[in-house]
């Protein structure tokens, strides 16, 4: 069954404050940039209990950073962070449409979101303290788990990957699944398209030596995959993927294999046709 997601531009401007809601859902997200904090503080959402994420970069702008918190009301906490935290440039605030979040539930959601971000390990957390899951009644926990599912869905709709795992346990291709291949130097990589992701399959090999064309983003991501032992040394020239690795872009996936900039739709091939040709036919 499908879901209806409503994105409302409060000022008829894509760069302005916006709200995101799931039809028949109880959670409402408000998204805004730091200069719009004052505008948010005058909205009804600011006076409600909720959880929030603050996103930005460190002073040298090399490392993305995230802070996850809760407030009752949430607007007061964000005002404090406007004075105390310099790194953030965007805020994502989650409140209940009917003011139904209890203090225990928002603390539950805060601890769960922090745990998910730590497990995904995609971004540096600005949090100093990592709260434990509070004691909560069975009924409140069931409701809070539903709220968490809605928040995670909205996060995916906003194309935020803070909570997305960097790798998946290997899954063997099923019958008739299209498997794309990319060969470069000694590396041979295989890729499947699953759940809207371009997935480098376990067993794919990756060029060790990076090219001059490699971007900082791809280089840093490769380093993280190596440090986390998702890519392991295979021989003098190659790494090997020991898990399936999802990407939002076929070019980004190919760049990880090649160690430099490359056009994914052109280099990934299946049955003698490029990914671009296959997508054109579809």
Confidence of residue 60 (pLDDT cuts 50, 70, 90): low
Three-class SS state of 132:
coil
- Using one digit for the tens of pLDDT, what is the confidence trace for 194-238? 988 999 999 999 999 999 889 988 998 999 999 999 999 999 999
CA-CA distance, 126 to 54, in Å (whole number)? 9
- The answer to whether 50 and 94 are in contact (CB under 8 A) is yes
CA-CA distance, 168 to 187, in Å (whole number)? 21
pTM, to two decimals: 0.75
Query: pLDDT at position 268, please?
Result: 97
- The answer to whether 246 and 197 are in contact (CB under 8 A) is yes
Structure tokens at 278: 């296959």
Query: Chain-centre distance of CA 161, in angstroms?
Result: 1
Instruction: Provide the Cα torsion 208, 188, 229, 64; round to 10°.
Output: 70
Confidence of residue 123 (pLDDT cuts 50, 70, 90): confident
- The answer to whether 49 and 107 are in contact (CB under 8 A) is no
Q: What is the sign, positive or negative, of the torsion defined by CA atoms of 242, 248, 251, 252?
A: negative
Strand partners, 193: 198
- Using one digit for the tens of pLDDT, what is the confidence trace for 1-55? 678 999 999 988 888 999 999 988 889 999 999 999 999 999 999 999 999 999 9
Structure tokens at 274: 């490029």
Query: pLDDT at position 61, please?
Result: 60
């Amino acid at each position: 069954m499908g879901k209806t997601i409503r994105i409302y531009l409060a000022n008829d401007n894509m760069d302005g404050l916006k709200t995101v809601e799931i039809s028949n859902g109880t959670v409402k997200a408000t998204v805004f940039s730091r200069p719009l904090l004052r505008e948010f503080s005058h909205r009804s959402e600011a006076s409600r209990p909720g959880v929030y994420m603050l996103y930005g970069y460190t002073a040298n702008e090399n490392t993305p950073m995230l802070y996850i918190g809760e407030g009752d009301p949430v607007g007061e906490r964000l005002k404090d962070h406007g004075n105390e935290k310099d790194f953030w440039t965007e805020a994502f605030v989650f409140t209940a449409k009917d003011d139904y979040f209890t203090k225990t539930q928002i603390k539950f959601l805060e601890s769960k979101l922090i745990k998910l971000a730590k497990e995904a390990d995609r971004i540096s957390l600005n949090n100093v303290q990592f709260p434990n899951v509070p004691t909560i009644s069975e009924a409140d926990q069931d409701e809070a788990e539903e709220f968490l599912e809605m928040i995670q869905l909205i996060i995916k709709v906003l194309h935020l990957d803070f909570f997305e795992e960097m790798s998946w346990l290997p899954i063997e291709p099923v019958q008739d699944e299209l498997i794309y291949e990319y060969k470069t130097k000694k590396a041979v990589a295989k890729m499947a398209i699953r759940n809207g992701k371009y997935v480098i399959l376990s067993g794919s090999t990756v060029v060790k030596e990076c090219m001059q064309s490699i971007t900082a983003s791809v280089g840093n991501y490769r380093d993280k995959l190596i440090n986390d032992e998702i890519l392991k040394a295979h021989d003098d020239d190659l790494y090997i993927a020991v898990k399936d690795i999802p990407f939002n872009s076929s070019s980004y996936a190919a760049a990880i294999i090649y160690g430099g900039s490359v056009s994914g739709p052109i280099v990934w091939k299946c049955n003698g046709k490029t990914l671009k040709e296959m997508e054109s036919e579809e």
